[in-house]
Homo-oligomer: A and B are copies of this chain.
Amino acid sequence: MNGNTCIRLFADQAQIMACQVKLKTAQKAFSSLSAVLSLAGNEVRLKIMYLLEEENELCPCDLSDILGMTIPAISQHLKKLKDGGIVQTRKEGQTVFYSLVKEFLPTLNPFFTHINSETLKTEVP
């Protein structure tokens, strides 16, 4: 970054430094949470997570049928979720069942709660 900062005299230098310290101590939390949020920030993946929560486990095939998308498209989303540690797999014959990793439920549950309450709000007048 070059010298594009502002020159203002009345900057609260103490406030700025305090904020920098807060960010620095929480750095790991910010990067891990933003990684999860960016995965959940895709509408298709958010739906996949929601469905896995509701149904416990689903195969790429089911998800493809439910979401009306091609298998490779689904598979690539699942790969990202698995790389992010959010889902796990169980193989049964040639079918692979995906499910949520329970350690992530505390992070994800507020999303699902939000979805359900928003839906109720609009559906029950």
Contacts and interface: CB of A to CB of B under 8 A. Distances in A.
Interface of A: 1-2, 4-6, 8, 11-12, 15-16, 19-20, 22-23, 25-26, 28-35, 37-43, 46-47, 50-51, 54-55, 61-62, 64-72, 95, 106-107, 110-111, 114-116, 118-119, 122-123
B46 A42 contact: no
Given A6-B71, A26-B118, A37-B46, A62 B11 contact: yes
Nearest to A106: B114
Q: In the complex, which of the residues A2, A67, A119 has the most CB atoms of chain B within 10 Å of its own CB atom?
A: A119
Nearest 7 A-B pairs (CB), nearest first?
A: A38-B41, A29-B118, A37-B41, A41-B41, A110-B110, A6-B61, A34-B43
A57 to B, nearest CB: 11
Contacts of A118: 26, 28-29, 32-33
A16 B62 contact: yes
Given A47-B30, A54-B22, A115-B29, A5 B40 contact: no
